[in-house]
A and B are shown apart, each in its own frame.
Chain A
Amino acid sequence: MHIPDGYLDPISAGVTWAIMLIYGFFAYRKAALGKNLEVVVGLAAAIFIAQMFNWPIPGGTSLHLVGGALAAIMLGPFEAFFVLLLVLLAQTLVFHDGGITTLGANVINMGVVAPLVGWAAWRLLSRYNKPLAAAVAGWASITVAGMAAGFEIGVSPYFPYAWTISVPVMTTWHALLGIVEGVITAAVVEYLLRRAPQYVRV
């Protein structure tokens, strides 16, 4: 889901960077970072390593955990923003996984949209069935984040009609990939609820 350099025009890149910074300021004020900083960094390290595990999918692609829903279920959506921000900063600045011009869009998709959607799904469904709620949260987080990525690369002053092409393609594709995110999220949340419930704080 890491959008590389060249997929966004300068205006879209600037707008997404601005949204990332504004949301980041808002999240900083909402999150209890002082209390959770060690867990935020630890979870960022775990997601960084988890994202290096590419699971092959028949047809020539592969996928890895994004972890937005998982982080939101564990810490809440605002702390999750900082978890994913740390992961994406390390990936972009050190390993050029995702572009610098598209960092704002990547943070919005994986650090804002995915945690918020995952958190909302978890809050809505966890009272009925926790593993199922975590699975839906993981799946929905990737599907909507993929939709957001499709919208970002489609909406551009240079290519005004492209979003009608990019949104359906990206949404459909990520809805399929999201199944695995859902399964992994459910497995980790179920494990934590049994072995270390103090880490499922939402």
Chain B
Amino acid sequence: MKKLYIFLALMALVSPVFGVWLANLIGYHEPLDVAADMINEVANETLHKVILQDVSDQMNWTPLKDYTVPGLPDWLGYIISAYIGLAIFIALWLVARRVKKTR
């Protein structure tokens, strides 16, 4: 299991190539956003209203929204976010291992 976490830590270093650089290159949109735009387009024609509105920005609770870190370039924020996520799972894994040992 340790090897897996080392491998994932190395993968995290490469992740901005896909999550930031290539995403910016093609003008990335979440597939659901694209589908929502299509739905809104049809709904606007048939129901005469836009029905799907993302209000994430109005009710945000984290400074790390969308895997960014305030004040840091996107690629570095993306790597740090990956490591924060990984740290959470490693902490959970350590707890799981301890629970298993105590049983």
Contact = CB atoms under 8 A, between A and B. Distances in A.
Contact of A52 (B82, B93, B99): B82
A55 B85 contact: no
A3 interface: yes
Contact of B60 (A40, A53, A96): A96
Interface string B3-23: 011001001100100110011
A63 to B, nearest CB: 6
A86 B92 contact: yes
A99 interface: yes
A5 B55 contact: yes
A169 B23 contact: no
Interface residues of A, number: 55
A23 B99 CA distance: 24
A154 B8 CA distance: 37
A58 B99 CA distance: 47
A6 B55 CA distance: 5
A37 B96 contact: yes
Given A45-B86, A61-B28, A90-B88, A173 B35 contact: yes
Interface string A161-178: 110011001100110010
A54 B19 contact: yes
Nearest to A177: B31
B51 A159 contact: yes
A45 B90 contact: yes
Given A34-B103, A46-B8, A54 B54 contact: no
Given A54-B22, A62-B28, A162-B39, A41 B66 contact: no
A107 interface: no
Interface of B: 1, 4-5, 8, 11-12, 15, 18-19, 22-23, 25-32, 34-36, 38-39, 42-43, 46-47, 51-56, 59-62, 64-67, 78, 81-82, 84-86, 88-90, 92-93, 96-97, 99-100, 103
